[in-house]
Amino acid sequence: MNLYTEHQHLRYNPLRDSWVLVSAHRMKRPWAGQVEKPPEEHIPRYDPHNPLCPGNTRANGEVNPDYDSTFVFPNDFPALQPDAPSPGIDQHPLFQSRSARGVCKVMCFHPWSDVTLPLMKKEEVVKVIDKWVELVQELGATYPWVQIFENKGAMMGCSNPHPHCQVWASNFLPNEPAVSDRCQREYYQKHGEPLLLHYATQEAQRKERVVVESSDWLAVVPYWATWPYQMLLLPRRHVLRLTDLTAEERQDLADIMKRLLTKYDNLFEVSFPYSMGWHGAPTGPHLTEDSSHWQLHAHYYPPLLRSATVKKFMVGYEMLALEQRDLTPEQAAEKLRNLPDIHYKTRQHLEEKVQEATS
Protein backbone atom coordinates (compact mmCIF):
# COMPACT_ATOMS: atom_id res chain seq x y z
CA MET A 1 0.00 0.00 0.00
CA ASN A 2 1.43 3.36 -1.04
CA LEU A 3 1.34 6.06 1.64
CA TYR A 4 1.25 8.75 -1.03
CA THR A 5 -1.81 7.41 -2.85
CA GLU A 6 -3.80 5.64 -0.13
CA HIS A 7 -3.54 7.77 3.03
CA GLN A 8 -3.87 11.45 3.77
CA HIS A 9 -0.70 13.12 5.01
CA LEU A 10 0.93 16.54 5.46
CA ARG A 11 3.79 17.88 3.35
CA TYR A 12 6.06 20.78 4.25
CA ASN A 13 6.63 23.72 1.90
CA PRO A 14 10.09 25.13 2.74
CA LEU A 15 9.57 28.15 0.48
CA ARG A 16 6.63 29.37 2.56
CA ASP A 17 7.27 27.68 5.91
CA SER A 18 3.81 26.12 5.73
CA TRP A 19 2.12 22.73 5.38
CA VAL A 20 -0.18 21.19 2.75
CA LEU A 21 -2.73 18.41 3.37
CA VAL A 22 -2.63 15.71 0.67
CA SER A 23 -5.81 13.59 0.47
CA ALA A 24 -5.38 11.44 -2.65
CA HIS A 25 -8.36 9.19 -1.87
CA ARG A 26 -10.71 12.15 -2.46
CA MET A 27 -10.20 11.83 -6.23
CA LYS A 28 -12.60 8.86 -6.04
CA ARG A 29 -15.54 11.02 -4.95
CA PRO A 30 -18.17 11.82 -7.63
CA TRP A 31 -18.35 15.42 -8.82
CA ALA A 32 -21.72 17.17 -9.02
CA GLY A 33 -20.46 20.71 -8.49
CA GLN A 34 -19.79 23.64 -10.77
CA VAL A 35 -18.74 22.99 -14.35
CA GLU A 36 -16.78 25.73 -16.11
CA LYS A 37 -17.15 26.87 -19.68
CA PRO A 38 -14.33 25.33 -21.75
CA PRO A 39 -11.65 27.79 -22.92
CA GLU A 40 -12.43 29.43 -26.26
CA GLU A 41 -10.64 27.55 -29.03
CA HIS A 42 -11.42 29.73 -32.03
CA ILE A 43 -9.77 33.11 -31.45
CA PRO A 44 -9.49 35.41 -34.49
CA ARG A 45 -5.91 36.20 -35.48
CA TYR A 46 -6.79 39.89 -35.62
CA ASP A 47 -9.75 41.63 -34.00
CA PRO A 48 -10.24 45.32 -34.88
CA HIS A 49 -11.86 45.85 -31.47
CA ASN A 50 -9.12 44.20 -29.42
CA PRO A 51 -7.02 46.94 -27.73
CA LEU A 52 -3.93 44.72 -27.70
CA CYS A 53 -3.78 44.05 -31.44
CA PRO A 54 -1.29 45.94 -33.64
CA GLY A 55 -2.58 49.27 -34.97
CA ASN A 56 -5.62 49.34 -32.67
CA THR A 57 -6.64 52.14 -30.31
CA ARG A 58 -6.55 51.48 -26.57
CA ALA A 59 -8.92 52.86 -23.92
CA ASN A 60 -6.78 55.95 -23.30
CA GLY A 61 -6.73 56.91 -26.97
CA GLU A 62 -3.19 55.68 -27.63
CA VAL A 63 -2.71 53.82 -30.90
CA ASN A 64 -0.58 50.68 -30.88
CA PRO A 65 2.24 50.48 -33.42
CA ASP A 66 2.12 47.78 -36.08
CA TYR A 67 4.44 45.62 -33.99
CA ASP A 68 5.71 42.31 -35.34
CA SER A 69 7.32 40.85 -32.21
CA THR A 70 6.94 41.80 -28.53
CA PHE A 71 5.31 45.10 -27.56
CA VAL A 72 5.51 46.78 -24.14
CA PHE A 73 3.41 49.74 -23.01
CA PRO A 74 2.33 51.35 -19.70
CA ASN A 75 -0.80 49.74 -18.23
CA ASP A 76 -3.74 52.03 -19.00
CA PHE A 77 -5.28 51.19 -15.61
CA PRO A 78 -2.25 50.72 -13.30
CA ALA A 79 -2.52 49.39 -9.75
CA LEU A 80 0.71 51.22 -8.93
CA GLN A 81 1.77 54.73 -9.90
CA PRO A 82 5.15 56.38 -9.30
CA ASP A 83 3.87 59.60 -7.71
CA ALA A 84 1.40 58.40 -5.04
CA PRO A 85 1.49 60.48 -1.80
CA SER A 86 2.76 58.99 1.47
CA PRO A 87 0.09 58.26 4.15
CA GLY A 88 2.34 59.71 6.87
CA ILE A 89 3.96 58.13 9.93
CA ASP A 90 1.66 59.11 12.83
CA GLN A 91 -0.42 55.92 12.97
CA HIS A 92 -2.06 53.59 15.46
CA PRO A 93 -0.32 50.15 15.64
CA LEU A 94 -3.57 48.44 14.58
CA PHE A 95 -4.19 50.78 11.65
CA GLN A 96 -0.90 50.99 9.81
CA SER A 97 -0.29 51.99 6.22
CA ARG A 98 2.75 52.61 4.05
CA SER A 99 3.51 54.32 0.79
CA ALA A 100 3.01 52.19 -2.32
CA ARG A 101 4.66 53.46 -5.48
CA GLY A 102 5.63 51.80 -8.69
CA VAL A 103 4.89 51.24 -12.35
CA CYS A 104 2.77 48.70 -14.23
CA LYS A 105 3.46 47.60 -17.78
CA VAL A 106 1.75 45.27 -20.24
CA MET A 107 3.80 43.12 -22.58
CA CYS A 108 2.33 41.48 -25.68
CA PHE A 109 4.14 38.31 -26.69
CA HIS A 110 3.13 38.25 -30.35
CA PRO A 111 1.12 40.30 -32.88
CA TRP A 112 -1.36 37.44 -33.43
CA SER A 113 -4.22 36.80 -31.00
CA ASP A 114 -4.63 33.12 -31.93
CA VAL A 115 -1.24 31.92 -30.69
CA THR A 116 0.03 31.16 -27.19
CA LEU A 117 3.56 30.48 -25.96
CA PRO A 118 3.53 26.72 -26.76
CA LEU A 119 2.38 27.46 -30.32
CA MET A 120 4.97 30.17 -30.94
CA LYS A 121 8.28 29.42 -32.66
CA LYS A 122 11.22 28.91 -30.35
CA GLU A 123 12.94 32.08 -31.60
CA GLU A 124 9.76 34.04 -30.82
CA VAL A 125 9.74 32.72 -27.24
CA VAL A 126 13.41 33.69 -26.92
CA LYS A 127 12.41 37.26 -27.79
CA VAL A 128 9.83 37.16 -24.98
CA ILE A 129 12.52 36.02 -22.53
CA ASP A 130 14.95 38.67 -23.79
CA LYS A 131 12.31 41.34 -23.19
CA TRP A 132 11.68 40.02 -19.68
CA VAL A 133 15.40 40.36 -18.98
CA GLU A 134 15.41 43.89 -20.39
CA LEU A 135 12.47 44.93 -18.19
CA VAL A 136 14.01 43.46 -15.03
CA GLN A 137 17.23 45.32 -15.81
CA GLU A 138 15.42 48.59 -16.52
CA LEU A 139 12.93 48.59 -13.63
CA GLY A 140 15.16 46.71 -11.22
CA ALA A 141 17.73 49.50 -11.34
CA THR A 142 15.33 51.49 -9.14
CA TYR A 143 12.63 49.28 -7.67
CA PRO A 144 13.22 46.58 -5.01
CA TRP A 145 10.80 44.16 -6.68
CA VAL A 146 9.88 43.52 -10.32
CA GLN A 147 7.06 41.00 -10.71
CA ILE A 148 6.59 39.41 -14.12
CA PHE A 149 3.35 37.42 -14.27
CA GLU A 150 0.95 35.95 -16.81
CA ASN A 151 -2.72 35.20 -16.20
CA LYS A 152 -3.74 32.87 -19.02
CA GLY A 153 -7.38 32.15 -19.71
CA ALA A 154 -10.69 33.60 -18.55
CA MET A 155 -10.71 31.06 -15.69
CA MET A 156 -7.72 32.91 -14.23
CA GLY A 157 -9.30 36.34 -14.62
CA CYS A 158 -7.67 37.22 -17.93
CA SER A 159 -9.93 39.69 -19.73
CA ASN A 160 -8.17 39.54 -23.11
CA PRO A 161 -7.21 36.41 -25.11
CA HIS A 162 -4.31 38.14 -26.88
CA PRO A 163 -1.04 36.54 -25.65
CA HIS A 164 0.41 38.89 -23.03
CA CYS A 165 1.77 39.25 -19.53
CA GLN A 166 2.16 42.05 -17.02
CA VAL A 167 5.14 43.54 -15.22
CA TRP A 168 4.63 45.41 -11.95
CA ALA A 169 7.56 47.10 -10.20
CA SER A 170 7.12 48.32 -6.60
CA ASN A 171 9.00 50.30 -3.96
CA PHE A 172 8.29 47.50 -1.46
CA LEU A 173 8.90 43.77 -1.24
CA PRO A 174 5.47 42.04 -1.58
CA ASN A 175 4.29 39.35 0.85
CA GLU A 176 5.10 36.21 -1.16
CA PRO A 177 8.70 37.10 -2.09
CA ALA A 178 9.27 38.47 1.42
CA VAL A 179 8.36 35.09 2.96
CA SER A 180 10.40 33.28 0.30
CA ASP A 181 13.37 35.54 0.99
CA ARG A 182 13.24 34.73 4.71
CA CYS A 183 12.88 30.98 4.16
CA GLN A 184 15.69 30.79 1.61
CA ARG A 185 17.96 32.90 3.83
CA GLU A 186 17.35 30.70 6.88
CA TYR A 187 17.98 27.51 4.87
CA TYR A 188 21.22 28.95 3.44
CA GLN A 189 22.45 29.99 6.88
CA LYS A 190 21.74 26.53 8.28
CA HIS A 191 22.89 24.34 5.37
CA GLY A 192 25.37 26.52 3.46
CA GLU A 193 23.61 25.86 0.13
CA PRO A 194 20.74 27.64 -1.65
CA LEU A 195 17.45 25.87 -0.86
CA LEU A 196 16.20 25.58 -4.43
CA LEU A 197 19.59 24.62 -5.86
CA HIS A 198 19.72 21.72 -3.38
CA TYR A 199 16.09 20.89 -4.12
CA ALA A 200 16.69 20.79 -7.91
CA THR A 201 19.59 18.38 -7.40
CA GLN A 202 17.43 16.11 -5.26
CA GLU A 203 14.50 16.13 -7.70
CA ALA A 204 16.79 15.42 -10.66
CA GLN A 205 18.01 12.30 -8.83
CA ARG A 206 14.58 11.10 -7.64
CA LYS A 207 12.81 11.71 -11.01
CA GLU A 208 9.28 10.92 -9.74
CA ARG A 209 8.08 14.55 -9.89
CA VAL A 210 10.10 15.66 -12.95
CA VAL A 211 7.95 16.54 -15.98
CA VAL A 212 10.51 17.94 -18.44
CA GLU A 213 14.24 18.58 -18.11
CA SER A 214 17.26 19.69 -20.08
CA SER A 215 20.94 20.36 -19.49
CA ASP A 216 20.14 23.78 -18.00
CA TRP A 217 16.56 23.54 -16.64
CA LEU A 218 14.26 21.33 -14.59
CA ALA A 219 10.44 21.50 -14.41
CA VAL A 220 8.85 19.58 -11.53
CA VAL A 221 5.51 19.30 -9.79
CA PRO A 222 6.87 20.38 -6.40
CA TYR A 223 6.67 17.94 -3.48
CA TRP A 224 4.56 20.53 -1.62
CA ALA A 225 2.31 21.53 -4.55
CA THR A 226 -1.16 22.86 -3.70
CA TRP A 227 -2.69 23.30 -7.17
CA PRO A 228 -3.37 20.04 -9.09
CA TYR A 229 -0.76 20.47 -11.83
CA GLN A 230 1.37 23.15 -10.19
CA MET A 231 4.89 23.52 -11.60
CA LEU A 232 8.23 24.81 -10.39
CA LEU A 233 10.71 25.73 -13.14
CA LEU A 234 14.34 25.84 -11.97
CA PRO A 235 17.79 26.43 -13.47
CA ARG A 236 20.31 23.69 -12.68
CA ARG A 237 23.11 26.10 -11.78
CA HIS A 238 23.05 28.89 -9.19
CA VAL A 239 21.27 31.90 -10.80
CA LEU A 240 20.00 34.90 -8.82
CA ARG A 241 17.95 36.78 -11.41
CA LEU A 242 16.73 36.58 -15.01
CA THR A 243 19.42 39.11 -15.91
CA ASP A 244 22.09 36.54 -14.93
CA LEU A 245 21.04 33.97 -17.55
CA THR A 246 23.45 33.30 -20.40
CA ALA A 247 22.31 33.44 -24.04
CA GLU A 248 22.45 29.63 -24.15
CA GLU A 249 20.31 29.33 -21.00
CA ARG A 250 17.71 31.68 -22.50
CA GLN A 251 17.57 29.51 -25.63
CA ASP A 252 17.18 26.39 -23.50
CA LEU A 253 14.53 28.12 -21.37
CA ALA A 254 12.47 28.87 -24.48
CA ASP A 255 12.65 25.20 -25.45
CA ILE A 256 11.65 23.84 -22.04
CA MET A 257 8.81 26.38 -21.70
CA LYS A 258 7.39 25.23 -25.04
CA ARG A 259 7.69 21.57 -24.00
CA LEU A 260 6.08 22.15 -20.60
CA LEU A 261 3.22 24.30 -21.89
CA THR A 262 2.57 21.86 -24.74
CA LYS A 263 2.07 19.10 -22.16
CA TYR A 264 -0.26 21.40 -20.21
CA ASP A 265 -2.40 21.96 -23.32
CA ASN A 266 -2.32 18.27 -24.25
CA LEU A 267 -3.62 17.14 -20.85
CA PHE A 268 -7.25 18.03 -21.61
CA GLU A 269 -6.70 19.23 -25.21
CA VAL A 270 -7.53 22.85 -24.39
CA SER A 271 -5.55 26.05 -24.04
CA PHE A 272 -4.57 25.32 -20.43
CA PRO A 273 -5.31 28.19 -18.01
CA TYR A 274 -2.80 29.20 -15.36
CA SER A 275 -1.20 32.03 -13.45
CA MET A 276 2.59 32.06 -13.61
CA GLY A 277 5.35 34.36 -12.51
CA TRP A 278 9.08 34.72 -11.92
CA HIS A 279 10.77 35.06 -8.54
CA GLY A 280 14.41 36.10 -8.27
CA ALA A 281 16.61 37.98 -5.84
CA PRO A 282 15.28 41.47 -4.96
CA THR A 283 16.59 44.38 -7.00
CA GLY A 284 17.01 48.16 -6.60
CA PRO A 285 18.76 48.87 -3.29
CA HIS A 286 19.25 45.10 -2.78
CA LEU A 287 21.54 44.78 -5.82
CA THR A 288 24.57 45.60 -3.67
CA GLU A 289 23.61 43.08 -0.96
CA ASP A 290 24.69 39.46 -0.72
CA SER A 291 21.76 37.47 -2.14
CA SER A 292 23.53 34.11 -2.35
CA HIS A 293 20.58 32.42 -0.63
CA TRP A 294 18.32 33.16 -3.61
CA GLN A 295 17.70 30.95 -6.63
CA LEU A 296 15.77 32.12 -9.68
CA HIS A 297 12.55 30.17 -10.29
CA ALA A 298 9.15 30.37 -11.96
CA HIS A 299 5.83 29.24 -10.45
CA TYR A 300 2.94 27.91 -12.55
CA TYR A 301 -0.45 27.65 -10.83
CA PRO A 302 -3.10 26.00 -13.07
CA PRO A 303 -6.63 25.51 -11.64
CA LEU A 304 -7.91 22.54 -13.70
CA LEU A 305 -8.32 19.27 -11.79
CA ARG A 306 -10.50 16.58 -13.37
CA SER A 307 -11.16 17.88 -16.86
CA ALA A 308 -11.22 21.02 -19.02
CA THR A 309 -14.38 22.09 -17.18
CA VAL A 310 -13.76 21.07 -13.55
CA LYS A 311 -11.31 23.16 -11.54
CA LYS A 312 -10.00 23.15 -8.00
CA PHE A 313 -11.65 25.61 -5.61
CA MET A 314 -9.45 27.18 -2.93
CA VAL A 315 -12.24 27.69 -0.39
CA GLY A 316 -13.51 26.62 3.03
CA TYR A 317 -10.81 24.58 4.78
CA GLU A 318 -8.08 26.05 2.54
CA MET A 319 -9.09 29.62 3.40
CA LEU A 320 -9.69 29.01 7.10
CA ALA A 321 -7.26 26.28 8.09
CA LEU A 322 -4.79 24.67 5.68
CA GLU A 323 -4.15 24.26 1.95
CA GLN A 324 -5.33 20.86 0.69
CA ARG A 325 -4.98 18.85 -2.53
CA ASP A 326 -6.48 15.62 -3.85
CA LEU A 327 -4.26 14.37 -6.69
CA THR A 328 -0.72 13.69 -5.41
CA PRO A 329 2.18 15.61 -6.99
CA GLU A 330 3.66 12.27 -8.14
CA GLN A 331 0.44 11.31 -9.93
CA ALA A 332 0.20 14.74 -11.55
CA ALA A 333 3.83 14.61 -12.72
CA GLU A 334 3.38 11.14 -14.21
CA LYS A 335 0.29 12.19 -16.15
CA LEU A 336 2.05 15.22 -17.60
CA ARG A 337 5.33 13.41 -18.25
CA ASN A 338 3.62 10.70 -20.29
CA LEU A 339 1.85 13.15 -22.60
CA PRO A 340 3.21 13.68 -26.15
CA ASP A 341 5.60 16.52 -26.95
CA ILE A 342 3.68 17.46 -30.10
CA HIS A 343 0.90 19.97 -29.46
CA TYR A 344 -2.58 18.59 -30.04
CA LYS A 345 -3.40 21.42 -32.46
CA THR A 346 -0.28 20.63 -34.51
CA ARG A 347 -1.27 16.97 -34.56
CA GLN A 348 -4.82 17.84 -35.63
CA HIS A 349 -3.46 20.08 -38.38
CA LEU A 350 -1.17 17.29 -39.64
CA GLU A 351 -4.05 14.80 -39.59
CA GLU A 352 -6.19 17.19 -41.63
CA LYS A 353 -3.41 17.56 -44.18
CA VAL A 354 -3.09 13.79 -44.50
CA GLN A 355 -6.86 13.45 -44.98
CA GLU A 356 -6.80 16.14 -47.68
CA ALA A 357 -3.92 14.43 -49.45
CA THR A 358 -5.63 11.02 -49.44
CA SER A 359 -9.15 12.18 -50.32
By annotation, the residues acting in catalysis are 164
Q: Which residue positions form the known binding site for UDP-alpha-D-glucose?
A: 26-29, 59, 75-76, 151, 157-159, 166, 312-313, 317-318, 324
Q: Which residue positions form the known binding site?
A: 26-29, 59, 75-76, 151, 157-159, 166, 312-313, 317-318, 324
DSSP 237-251: S---SGGG--HHHHH
Buried b / exposed e over 70-80, threshold 16 CB at 10 Å, is bbbbeeeeeeb
Q: Quickly count: other Cβ atoms within 10 Å of residue 351's Cβ.
A: 10
Under 8 Å between Cβ of 136 and 77: no
Write out the H or E segment, with its range, that includes residue 186: helix 175-191
**What residue ranges in 7-144 does DSSP mark as E strands?**
9-13, 18-22, 71-74, 102-108
What is the pairing mode between strands 310-311 and 304-307?
antiparallel
CA distances from 146 to 82, 118, 135, 137, 234 (A): 14, 24, 8, 9, 18
